[in-house]
A and B are shown apart, each in its own frame.
Chain A
């Protein structure tokens, strides 16, 4: 393995970046965040009232983290992203270390004792997988920006290295029983590899393979159902494949989601008027918040929100393409791809197009640390946007 770097570049890079941030991207983040918090409040207050006696419980916490997150985002937007380039390897090692640590010393969240997903001290807890997602993006960005500089026998090794790092993380997360996170990290790595120049033939084969898999699943549904073992993941797949005969409790959340979406119709019941959030939908503020949005804002409102995400991704890619720095470009695209993939997976789960994997909706789902991480990442994108605006 042979690495090289431009020593003179390092001196030119100040820690603080100047220049104006991309107003379009900032605006779209703020819009998504505001809509997200309003909808989270609407979706959560009934559940909050029943479970904690305080209807503002989730709203207050989310709002606090949002404020902190905005501050973090603005700070981030001033920090030169090159710092991550330097920290790429340590970050990967630390995050893999945390993924191992969480299996040894899991923080048991009340009600979710079976999952080893959290690390925590006292009342503070976080998911190492959240850090892992960012770490893999940073790592891949760095490796890909060093394309043709890491070679074995003249062959570029950047893509295999990215894949290896990604699979290592995924392998560890298997023990967390965190299917959505595995899919997400794998998706991010695939996107990064495509950006890194993955062979078109392979891409085509991969896409066709995935499509073929889907077709096979539906054609051999009955056979698959017979051979699938019982277990948490398998149960979710079974309940997705076999909608009619699946036990009510297994499909409860998905069914309630469909009822909520169906109730919304084209125009929705109006903000705050969801009925399904009245203890029908378990934890409506979490992974299935999009169903409540569909119920209250209707198909039209939901499509508008989907389009907001599309604009966010588009704007991110515009920022990435404007920058001349490869690492920054990969980093920005990796971050918005992460948001995009997560959004797509979440909506497909909520509409029962794919099995329920337990994936949250960025900007909308309740979760303080996740929101802060997300806004921090948005700050990274904004920082790059300052860089590229400088260059003009």
Chain B
């Protein structure tokens, strides 16, 4: 070392410094850079993106649900979503307080909840409330224009608009024009645009659409300028597809109104009804009361106010909460497809069909019912203890005679019976496009004994779903074709183009057209003169079958006997347009299908058939009882008028002392029942006179007619008018005691209480 020249020493020092700078110094730079850029790069990249990108979700408008006439039942309207940007708030307590106070006022959201959301620093988009209507959103945007001032850390006064902290984005809200109509069929839309129950659930993916996103690169400035356009990606929201239902708003309303009335009248636990297009299997109406019915626009609340009062009366809080929660599920559940019931005598339709199809019975063959029969090692009673006497198949159906069907049903034997049971679709789900469908509760087929067939052949000891039942009845009505019921006829895209059409699907031919025709005739007689007579509607040739079955309900009070009253029908019998099923669970008082279900059916059928413009086919005897239209006698003398009207066998009642008729009720052209009354007014004062509506219930047809005529009002008879001798009135359209004009037409409903029983023995 000592030998080194000073120049060499200098050079070595220079190289040392060079190494220090280039290798140690710049080397450290490269290492440090590699750590930040390559090792931790991903983490920083993500944070940078979080900073730079503003991701806004634009809700897709959910598709519309239309009824068969393109009336929207459920549609999405524009709404707004209000969110806060906690990162911008940066835990400024003054800002948080002001925001939570004002937003709480405007939106009705809990103040503490807003405070908590505002303090989630690190997020820049937290939703305070979605589905905010436009009017409220406008108030919020007014508020956003207001300013707030505060001192920052350095003591400088900062003034910001509230829009720096709060934002509004588009959102959608489900709107229902008739919030109670077909509620359990439609289902509801919960948070985040997800459908629950019904069509909203079944077709969720179709209806949802694709939410849009706007991803913008925002800059770091506070002027809310975004970066140049190349950093902006817009994914348009795609509106969901719409559904066109087979359900017709009017038919659905007729059904629901009738069910509501029946729910009150019978005091039952629940009542359900389904109406099907006989030829296609399309569901025209489906509803229930007592379960499966709620307010679509307020789905979380208990819709049945009586039930709610009852539940709120429960003292124990835990129990009350639980009961309310259960009731909530109960009101959402579509019991038409999710519950089973024992069909009872309605099932005799299928036993009869199978026997005819298999040629195991002739129409002439007779059997004498003694009220009791021994078969397959057991003894069975008929509901008519004294026996129905000697009957052929038609009569046995009309009487709903149990021994007849037990003995004849056994001819099918176990495999034959099961073959038809399965062929009519009772072992499978029908495949209706609704969620939550269940199937029947039936025997284990491998372990069946003949006694099972004996009881099953008149509809006992097993349970089916209402949708299975109506689909099977429909097959008998339409010429033997078992169809797949469906509720959505078309799917439309957002421009209204049809993108999918549901074609009726025939699962199988269960019975021949001939057997079907025979069954139609026989079932028409059941309604005309048999146990279904209360479902008769003049001109519409209703065919059907009643059913009454026991439901042994075990509860804390021990075993109580409850009933299912049901009625399955179709009309017109010669060429059915609609098929209908009504099931009433646990009616109070009268409990037979013929007594409580059939009268409900007649009202619905009359409404629906008129609505569908089905041409009435009146028989001669029906025509004789038909109404006539009142002739115009105003301006004529009283005697002249009297002779004109009595020519049409219409009675006349004169009010006032004048010579000339100055007004008449019913007026010219309005219908008057044959043997009805036309009031002729001869003085102006008399016109203002009213009378008190008499009580017309509990009377025979003649008694009611005479009482009405005597009082000076017209009576319209509703019910099976072919059988006036056994009819008793049970309902009048205008309550007794109401002040009415003379000549007013009151509709009085009659029903028969004789020969309609098909109770289980």
Q: Which 4 A-B pairs have the closest CB atoms?
A: A262-B44, A280-B220, A259-B48, A278-B219
When the two chains form their complex, are residues B13 and A262 in contact, meaning their CB atoms are under 8 A apart?
Answer: no
Chain A residues 246-299 with CB under 8 Å of chain B are 247-249, 255-256, 258-266, 275-276, 278-281, 294, 298-299
When the two chains form their complex, are residues A299 and B37 in contact, meaning their CB atoms are under 8 A apart?
Answer: yes
| A348 CB-CB contact with B under 8 Å | yes
| A88 CB-CB contact with B under 8 Å | no
| B685 CB-CB contact with A under 8 Å | no
When the two chains form their complex, are residues A256 and B220 in contact, meaning their CB atoms are under 8 A apart?
Answer: yes
Give the distance in Å from the alpha carbon of A383 to the alpha carbon of B378 in the complex.
127
When the two chains form their complex, are residues B45 and A263 in contact, meaning their CB atoms are under 8 A apart?
Answer: yes
| A313 CB-CB contact with B under 8 Å | yes
The smallest beta-carbon distance between A276 and chain B, in angstroms, is 6
User: Chain B 218-232 against A: per-residue CB contact (8 Å), 1 yes, 0 no?
Assistant: 011101000100010
Q: Which one of B24-32, B387-395, B573-581 contacts A?
A: B24-32
| A303 CB-CB contact with B under 8 Å | yes
When the two chains form their complex, are residues B21 and A321 in contact, meaning their CB atoms are under 8 A apart?
Answer: no
When the two chains form their complex, are residues A194 and B9 in contact, meaning their CB atoms are under 8 A apart?
Answer: no
| A309 CB-CB contact with B under 8 Å | yes
Task: Report which of A195, A275, A276, A351 forms a contact with B14, defined as CB distance below 8 A.
Answer: A195
| B16 CB-CB contact with A under 8 Å | yes
When the two chains form their complex, are residues A278 and B28 in contact, meaning their CB atoms are under 8 A apart?
Answer: no
| A302 CB-CB contact with B under 8 Å | yes
When the two chains form their complex, are residues B17 and A194 in contact, meaning their CB atoms are under 8 A apart?
Answer: yes
Give the distance in Å from the alpha carbon of A347 to the alpha carbon of B33 in the complex.
8
Give the distance in Å from the alpha carbon of A151 to the alpha carbon of B415 in the complex.
127
User: Chain B 190-229 against A: per-residue CB contact (8 Å), 1 yes, 0 no?
Assistant: 0000000000000000000000000001011101000100
Q: A262-B42, A306-B29 are in contact. List 9 more A-B contacts (CB 8 A).
A: A194-B16, A258-B44, A262-B37, A264-B41, A276-B220, A302-B37, A307-B26, A341-B21, A344-B21
Can you list 9 pairs linking A and B with CB atoms under 8 Å apart? A50-B223, A194-B16, A262-B37, A263-B41, A265-B37, A280-B48, A310-B26, A351-B33, A352-B36
Nearest-CB residue, chain A, relative to B90 = A248
Task: Report which of A264, A333, A341, A344 forms a contact with B37, defined as CB distance below 8 A.
Answer: A264
- For the complex, would chain A's binding face be called helix, strand, loop or mixed by DSSP majority? helix
- Set of chain A residues within 8 Å of B35, measured between Cβ atoms: 351
Give the distance in Å from the alpha carbon of A23 to the alpha carbon of B500 in the complex.
78
When the two chains form their complex, are residues B36 and A197 in contact, meaning their CB atoms are under 8 A apart?
Answer: no
- Set of chain A residues within 8 Å of B26, measured between Cβ atoms: 306-307, 309-310, 313, 340, 343-344, 347
The smallest beta-carbon distance between B730 and chain A, in angstroms, is 80
Nearest-CB residue, chain A, relative to B41 = A262
When the two chains form their complex, are residues A333 and B14 in contact, meaning their CB atoms are under 8 A apart?
Answer: yes
When the two chains form their complex, are residues B52 and A265 in contact, meaning their CB atoms are under 8 A apart?
Answer: no
When the two chains form their complex, are residues B231 and A299 in contact, meaning their CB atoms are under 8 A apart?
Answer: no
Task: Report which of A194, A197, A265, A337 forms a contact with B41, defined as CB distance below 8 A.
Answer: A265
When the two chains form their complex, are residues A340 and B14 in contact, meaning their CB atoms are under 8 A apart?
Answer: no
The smallest beta-carbon distance between B634 and chain A, in angstroms, is 88
Give the distance in Å from the alpha carbon of A321 to the alpha carbon of B18 in the complex.
12
When the two chains form their complex, are residues B13 and A194 in contact, meaning their CB atoms are under 8 A apart?
Answer: yes
Identify which of A255, A326, A353 gathers the most chain B CB atoms within 10 Å of its CB: A353
Chain B residues 51-95 with CB under 8 Å of chain A are 51-52, 90
Taking A194-B16, A280-B220, A299-B38 as contacts, is the C-beta distance between A263 and B28 under 8 angstroms? Answer: no
The smallest beta-carbon distance between A374 and chain B, in angstroms, is 17
| B310 CB-CB contact with A under 8 Å | no
Count class of interface residues, chain B: 35 or more
When the two chains form their complex, are residues A281 and B25 in contact, meaning their CB atoms are under 8 A apart?
Answer: no
When the two chains form their complex, are residues B220 and A262 in contact, meaning their CB atoms are under 8 A apart?
Answer: no
Chain B residues 138-182 with CB under 8 Å of chain A are 153
Give the distance in Å from the alpha carbon of A360 to the alpha carbon of B133 in the complex.
55
- Set of chain B residues within 8 Å of A279, measured between Cβ atoms: 219-221
| B625 CB-CB contact with A under 8 Å | no
Give the distance in Å from the alpha carbon of A317 to the alpha carbon of B11 in the complex.
9
| A89 CB-CB contact with B under 8 Å | no
Nearest-CB residue, chain B, relative to A320 = B14
Identify which of A247, A261, A333 gathers the most chain B CB atoms within 10 Å of its CB: A261
Taking A194-B16, A261-B36, A310-B26 as contacts, is the C-beta distance between A337 and B21 under 8 angstroms? Answer: yes
Chain A residues 305-356 with CB under 8 Å of chain B are 306-307, 309-310, 313-314, 317, 320-321, 326, 329, 333, 337, 340-341, 343-344, 347-348, 351-353
The smallest beta-carbon distance between A110 and chain B, in angstroms, is 16
Give the distance in Å from the alpha carbon of A340 to the alpha carbon of B26 in the complex.
8
| A28 CB-CB contact with B under 8 Å | no
The smallest beta-carbon distance between A112 and chain B, in angstroms, is 15
| A191 CB-CB contact with B under 8 Å | yes
Taking A310-B26, A321-B11 as contacts, is the C-beta distance between A353 and B231 under 8 angstroms? Answer: no
Task: Report which of B9, B17, B48, B219 forms a contact with A337, defined as CB distance below 8 A.
Answer: B17
What is the size, in residues, of chain A's interface with B at 8 Å between Cβ atoms?
53
The smallest beta-carbon distance between B124 and chain A, in angstroms, is 14
Identify which of A255, A263, A266 gathers the most chain B CB atoms within 10 Å of its CB: A263
- Set of chain B residues within 8 Å of A50, measured between Cβ atoms: 221, 223
* Residues of chain A at the chain B interface (Cβ within 8 Å): 46, 50, 191, 194-195, 197, 247-249, 255-256, 258-266, 275-276, 278-281, 294, 298-299, 302-303, 306-307, 309-310, 313-314, 317, 320-321, 326, 329, 333, 337, 340-341, 343-344, 347-348, 351-353
- Set of chain A residues within 8 Å of B9, measured between Cβ atoms: 197
When the two chains form their complex, are residues A348 and B227 in contact, meaning their CB atoms are under 8 A apart?
Answer: no
When the two chains form their complex, are residues B22 and A261 in contact, meaning their CB atoms are under 8 A apart?
Answer: no
| B34 CB-CB contact with A under 8 Å | yes
| B374 CB-CB contact with A under 8 Å | no
Give the distance in Å from the alpha carbon of A266 to the alpha carbon of B38 in the complex.
7
When the two chains form their complex, are residues A195 and B37 in contact, meaning their CB atoms are under 8 A apart?
Answer: no
When the two chains form their complex, are residues A348 and B22 in contact, meaning their CB atoms are under 8 A apart?
Answer: no
| B10 CB-CB contact with A under 8 Å | yes
The smallest beta-carbon distance between A104 and chain B, in angstroms, is 27
When the two chains form their complex, are residues A278 and B220 in contact, meaning their CB atoms are under 8 A apart?
Answer: yes
- Set of chain B residues within 8 Å of A340, measured between Cβ atoms: 21-22, 25-26
Give the distance in Å from the alpha carbon of A195 to the alpha carbon of B21 in the complex.
13
- Set of chain A residues within 8 Å of B221, measured between Cβ atoms: 50, 278-279
When the two chains form their complex, are residues B36 and A344 in contact, meaning their CB atoms are under 8 A apart?
Answer: no
When the two chains form their complex, are residues A262 and B14 in contact, meaning their CB atoms are under 8 A apart?
Answer: no
- Set of chain B residues within 8 Å of A262, measured between Cβ atoms: 36-37, 40-45, 47-48
Nearest-CB residue, chain A, relative to B154 = A249
Give the distance in Å from the alpha carbon of A104 to the alpha carbon of B40 in the complex.
46
Taking A344-B26, A351-B29 as contacts, is the C-beta distance between A278 and B217 under 8 angstroms? Answer: yes
Nearest-CB residue, chain B, relative to A340 = B21
Nearest-CB residue, chain A, relative to B31 = A353
When the two chains form their complex, are residues B25 and A195 in contact, meaning their CB atoms are under 8 A apart?
Answer: no
Taking A275-B231, A347-B32 as contacts, is the C-beta distance between A313 and B18 under 8 angstroms? Answer: yes
Give the distance in Å from the alpha carbon of A385 to the alpha carbon of B34 in the complex.
35
Nearest-CB residue, chain B, relative to A353 = B32
Task: Report which of B10, B48, B223 forms a contact with A195, defined as CB distance below 8 A.
Answer: B10
Give the distance in Å from the alpha carbon of A298 to the alpha carbon of B34 in the complex.
10
Nearest-CB residue, chain A, relative to B43 = A262
Nearest-CB residue, chain B, relative to A295 = B48
Task: Report which of B34, B40, B44 forms a contact with A299, defined as CB distance below 8 A.
Answer: B34
The smallest beta-carbon distance between B528 and chain A, in angstroms, is 83
- Set of chain A residues within 8 Å of B25, measured between Cβ atoms: 340-341, 344
When the two chains form their complex, are residues B29 and A347 in contact, meaning their CB atoms are under 8 A apart?
Answer: yes
Give the distance in Å from the alpha carbon of A193 to the alpha carbon of B731 in the complex.
119
- Set of chain A residues within 8 Å of B227, measured between Cβ atoms: 275, 278
Give the distance in Å from the alpha carbon of A278 to the alpha carbon of B43 in the complex.
20
- Set of chain B residues within 8 Å of A298, measured between Cβ atoms: 37
Nearest-CB residue, chain B, relative to A333 = B14
The smallest beta-carbon distance between B220 and chain A, in angstroms, is 3
- Set of chain B residues within 8 Å of A191, measured between Cβ atoms: 17, 20-21
When the two chains form their complex, are residues A344 and B28 in contact, meaning their CB atoms are under 8 A apart?
Answer: yes
When the two chains form their complex, are residues A259 and B51 in contact, meaning their CB atoms are under 8 A apart?
Answer: yes
- Set of chain B residues within 8 Å of A352, measured between Cβ atoms: 32, 36
Give the distance in Å from the alpha carbon of A256 to the alpha carbon of B9 in the complex.
46
- Set of chain A residues within 8 Å of B10, measured between Cβ atoms: 195, 326, 329
When the two chains form their complex, are residues A197 and B33 in contact, meaning their CB atoms are under 8 A apart?
Answer: no
Task: Report which of A194, A249, A310 forms a contact with B22, defined as CB distance below 8 A.
Answer: A310
- Set of chain B residues within 8 Å of A310, measured between Cβ atoms: 22, 26
